[in-house]
Amino acid sequence: MVGITKINLIELEKVKQLLQISEKDLQSSENLFISKIYHNAVSTFQQSVEKTVKAEALMNSIFKFDELKHGIGHNPLPMYEANITDNMKKAEGLREAINKIPELGKIPAIEKLNLDDYIAKGNFAKQALNSISKKGKIFSDDINELDGAIEEMNKLIEHVKSIDKQRNFLIGQLK
């Protein structure tokens, strides 16, 4: 079931630091791109994305900071897969809650949410990651497919987060 993330203050500070560094990397990447130093712009952008995904994984208690620093390192694929899996579990938990309490499905924000489509896109993203992992390197078609799937999932993630509070409130009212 979708729940409120438990994170300690030290980890929260690490999330903040990762996001601050990510923002600086993104600004550097933009400046490098404007200066037509494309190779460095791309690698700096990749570092920004990696730090953002690490922050999300830490904030959602998918990984602890030491795991991200020492276990994951610069291989972001396990983080992406873990984040996708975690978000899919939350969507499945919300779907189960709606099945148990049909009134939840009548909340306007939840009515607009297509959980089956969300889960299908999560499965697609996981397949794309699996394909990338097997090939050992990322090809442009894989990037385009994964980018599209991730963009759609991110929209749905934000939507799920926005209704998470409403759902928790309603469940609390039913107890």
Domain stops at, among 49, 72, 95: 72
Q: Residue 51: which of 81, 84, 22, 77 has the closest Cα?
A: 22
Model pLDDT, residue 34? 92
Answer yes or no: do 79 and 139 share one domain: yes
Of 2-11, 29-38, 95-104, 118-127, least confident by mean pLDDT is 2-11
**Whole-prediction pTM:** 0.54
pLDDT of residue 82 exceeding 60, the answer is: yes
Q: Report helix angle 77-100 to 140-174, nearest 10.
A: 40
Task: Give the residue with greater pLDDT, 135 vs 64.
Answer: 64
pLDDT of residue 135 exceeding 70, the answer is: no
Answer yes or no: do 87 and 168 share one domain: yes
Model pLDDT, residue 2? 38
Q: Report helix angle 77-100 to 38-59, nearest 10.
A: 40
Answer yes or no: do 45 and 93 share one domain: no
Answer yes or no: do 45 and 86 share one domain: no
Answer yes or no: do 96 and 141 share one domain: yes
Domain stops at, among 72, 89, 106: 72
pLDDT of residue 138 exceeding 70, the answer is: no
Q: Burial letters for 152-161: b for 16+ Cβ neighbours within 10 Å, e otherwise?
A: bbeebbebbe
Answer yes or no: do 79 and 156 share one domain: yes
Model pLDDT, residue 117? 85
Confidence tier at 91 by pLDDT (50, 70, 90): confident
Mean pLDDT comparison of 14-18, 83-87, 135-139, 156-160, highest-scoring range: 14-18
Write out the residue range of the structural domain in which residue 156 sits.
75-175
Task: Express each pLDDT in 17-40 by its tens digit.
Answer: 989 999 999 999 999 989 988 888
Report how many domains make up the chain: 2
Domain stops at, among 56, 72, 88: 72
What average pLDDT does range 62-77 have in this prediction? 73
pLDDT of residue 43 exceeding 50, the answer is: yes
